[in-house]
Structure 1
Amino acid sequence: MSVLPTRARSSAALVLAGVLWGTGGLAGSLLGRLAGLHPLAVADYRLLVGGGVATLFVVLKGGALPRTAEAAKRLLAVGGLFALFQASYFAAVAFSSVSIATMTTIGAAPVVVTLAGRRKPGRWTVVSLAGTIAGLVLLRWSPDEPAHLAGGLGFALLAAAGFAALTLLTAKPVEGLEPLSTTAFGCLAGGVLLTPVASWSGMALPLHADVLAVACYLGTVPTALAYAAYLRGLTTAHPVLGALSAVLEPLTAAVLSALLFGERLSATAWCGAAVLVAALAVGYWRPEPR
């Protein structure tokens, strides 16, 4: 099998994950409004429902439960990182804003992955990283947002570290543990770990058709399917490229908000979107060797 088809498949999986994540913010916000849930409760339902749906699919496929100690340790670590990432991100939102939290988390994650690597990054990786950060600033930054909220920035950096650690950890496969199984049991573990933190805000979910439909979508598409695609892509792609793919989340969310809700994007934001696309194209076209 040639390298190009493998690279193309991994790149397509990472792009799919980033785009699907972009619909998760809108779905999570809608679920919070419809059910009156705190963002932490929304994050917990996202992990629990996503893990449940993915686990059901694994069982229906005839997949086996993880049986080795190494697989169990990996799933516990993945679950802890899922819980850390989600809790830190929504804490950052609470202390600052969605724009600052998203920009800092998604922008810092590929930098952390690069710095954690054993080798010096290539020049094209540096170009892609610089373009990504510049594009995020142009796309998400608003001069009306207070820039002195250290607590929000601190939690966003913690979320970035959690996502970077998840990327680096899952890039190393464990025998007998496929990406879908990792997503399924990892999300379930993360949801269970996050429940004590989220329950203080109330997790009562109204049993209405629209609420349940949004909850199922949030757990299935931008969580179970997206993370399964992301982990699948990481099996052959470099972790830095995987982290860079996450910037498709705010880009997709911004475009969908403009198309579906009539939110006007400024000329600066559109320039940021163009810079992001160019930076990602560089990352996909000239990827780091594994």
Structure 2
Amino acid sequence: MTEKLKVRATSKLILEAALPLYHSTLQQQYINAIDFSETNRFFYELKRRYPQIIEIVLLRKFGIRHFISERMNAHPVQQAIILGAGLDPLSLYLLENYPQLRKIIEVDNGDIAEKKAIYDRILPQQTLIHFAPCDITDTPLLRSFLAHSGYAPGQPAIIVFEGIIHYIPSSAFLDVMQLFRTPGHHNQVMLDYCLAGEDVPLACRPLHEGVLDILAANLPAPLKVYSRRQINAFLQELHAASVEREPLPLTEKKRGLKPVQFKADGEGIIELLNFYI
């Protein structure tokens, strides 16, 4: 019997929250290869005190997939680069739904070897997905790994940057984005970011601050938060085009489930963003 991959508390939280999205046979095979039995005080305390965190993570992942769907409807043939891919089987979702993609490249320096081993077991013949074991903030190394994995700068690409910007310095984010800038703005970036308190309604701040506090107490460093003003400054520096900011209530509306949990602009800790560079 093949030993299952044990996951850290943060990975467990994210994967378990997104389980409703992993409904295909292939994604279920992948999830079944992961051991969710590890217990952790932080994981259960976060869910007990702030149960909304599960819906927030689920909406984040749904929102990114919805962005991808819109992009693929408009531009069916292109590349997909998943930066900080983690253990989320997004590449399997892409493979199943958009087999016309030229290439899918996952970049991470965490459990990527173990993830690749699972993929090799459940998809031994696939050639579309490539893995780049790399720290995304090491931009010279990232450039080298992308080239080795077959990234073609002259071809349109989806750049997924989900769940990453709040862990790295803003300068590192800008450096990474510079790698994907194109004269014709043919690359689309999709990401989420944690809102600064100034953009959160007063009534929602206890939830907002409580979640950030408990995460700060259990992670190596507090999550980085950004105001919309700061995000706009980043976008100007990158000469971004066709910017779309999506508050979480709008993402929840697109998902179409009732009752809704998030009603006010700025509620839900994070916002989604996509733009062209």
Q: TM-score range by the shorter chain?
A: under 0.3
Greater RCO, 1 or 2 (C-alpha within 8 Å, sep 6+) = 1
Task: Please report the TM-score for the alignment, with normalisation by the length of structure 2.
Answer: 0.25
Task: Please report the TM-score for the alignment, with normalisation by the length of structure 1.
Answer: 0.25
Query: Which structure has more helix as a fraction of its residues?
Result: 1
